[in-house]
Amino acid sequence: MGDDRAGRIAFLGLGAMGRPMAATLLRAGWPVAVFDVRPAEARAELAALGAEGAASPAAAARGAAAAVVMVRDFAQAGAVLLGPDGALDALAPATLVILMSTVAPADARELGARCADRGLRFLDAPVSGGPGAAEGALSVMLGGPDETVAAARPLLETLGDPAKIWHVGRRAGDGQAMKMINQLMAGVNIVATSEALALAARAGLDPRQAFAIVGESAGSSWMFRDRGPRMLDGQFTPARSVLDIFVKDLGIVNDAADDLGLPLFAAAVAHQVFKLGAAAGLGGEDDAGLIRLYQRLAAGEAGEPRG
């Protein structure tokens, strides 16, 4: 794979993140072969941008200069790489495999080892900043050797903001470890924001005024300012990230902390709260919908101010 964008990219996974990322590559002139388990809708959209539709991960991978994996979780990554008609056996030696999904650090190490067994180069490269997927403005956290990072950089700089492509460690899994630190903060903050705005309404305050005041005070956070307005407006149509994603990502955080012997409290309870949200049927909605869990759990009318 070179700067000339001659080599084809096998792009595996066309979900809420993968689809706009593949489109970004196509618009920037990369040849891309796409695969997704779901019906052809996403592939049709990308075909209009010049993508080659592939019937299997192996078909997308054959002859590719690099494979990008942007599926939902480790199980799906295993399926597209190692399952029947998986990509790994179809890739030429020394081809780059770039894992951009968020998985556990240990799982990224596992996939890295499987790639190494086959003589492939593996880069652990989870992303953050969903809305930037369509504009090539993601941030990317990289775990892998310097040479692999250098080889992947032209592609990464198409997908990500060059100022936010962070090489955080030389091992597979290091990128995922950094991503999980961000997800710990982000997930806890969505829970705290839900609690704060639900409590404000319940205490008879104007929740919009609470949002304005706390948003300019020491209690503010990126998530408070981003998710708060959607919570106030009751706008829970899935935007970029659904609630179920944090069930997965906080699970990764807490499993890793268990492995490392570090007790976590806020992260552990936040994970349980997202699981409560999923159990209440909110898993497929925008994660700002978590506030509905608190509105429902409270005695009396949902979200009704009490004074």
CB of 12 to a second copy, least distance (A): 24
Residue with smaller CB distance to a second copy, 82 or 182: 182
> Does 37 interact with a second copy (rule: CB under 8 A)?
no
What tokens were used for 73? 């979780």
CB of 117 to a second copy, least distance (A): 22
* Rounded-to-integer distance, Cα 167 and Cα 35, Å: 28
What tokens were used for 184? 């710990």
From the list 135, 233, 272, 279, which residue makes contact with a second copy (rule: CB under 8 A)? 272
> Does 198 interact with a second copy (rule: CB under 8 A)?
yes
Q: Is 183 left (phi over 0), alpha (psi -120 to 50) or beta?
A: alpha
> Does 291 interact with a second copy (rule: CB under 8 A)?
no
CB atoms near residue 301 (< 10 Å):
9
Segment holding 191, helix H or strand E? helix 174-202
Please name the residue that has the structure tokens 């004074």: 307
* Rounded-to-integer distance, Cα 34 and Cα 57, Å: 8
Task: Please identify, among the stretches 23-31, 80-88, 149-157, 201-209, the one whose residues bind a second copy according to the rule CB under 8 A.
Answer: 201-209
Q: Are 67 and 96 in contact (CB under 8 A)?
A: yes
> Does 265 interact with a second copy (rule: CB under 8 A)?
yes
CA dihedral 34, 39, 42, 45 (to 10 degrees): 100
Q: What's the Rg (C-alpha) of the chain?
A: 20
Task: Please identify, among the stretches 48-56, 87-95, 111-119, 196-204, the one whose residues bind a second copy according to the rule CB under 8 A.
Answer: 196-204
Active-site residue, 179 included? yes
x/- track of binding to a second copy for residues 67-106 (CB under 8 A): --------------------------------------x-
Task: Please identify, among the stretches 13-21, 38-46, 94-102, 263-271, the one whose residues bind a second copy according to the rule CB under 8 A.
Answer: 263-271
**# residues contacting a second copy (CB under 8 A):** 70
CB of 43 to a second copy, least distance (A): 29
74 Cβ neighbours under 8 A, 6+ residues apart:
101, 103, 104, 107
In three-state secondary structure terms, 243 is helix
> Does 267 interact with a second copy (rule: CB under 8 A)?
yes
From the list 89, 135, 216, 233, which residue makes contact with a second copy (rule: CB under 8 A)? 216
- Residue 69: phi, psi to the nearest 5? -110, 120
From the list 100, 108, 168, 247, which residue makes contact with a second copy (rule: CB under 8 A)? 168
* Rounded-to-integer distance, Cα 291 and Cα 234, Å: 9
Residue with smaller CB distance to a second copy, 69 or 168: 168
CB atoms near residue 136 (< 10 Å):
20
Q: Which residues bind a second copy (CB under 8 A)?
A: 105, 128-129, 139, 141, 164, 166, 168-169, 174, 177-178, 180-186, 188-189, 191-193, 195-196, 198-200, 202-206, 209-210, 213-214, 216-224, 226, 253, 256-257, 260-270, 272-273, 294, 297-300, 306
Residues marked active site are found at: 179
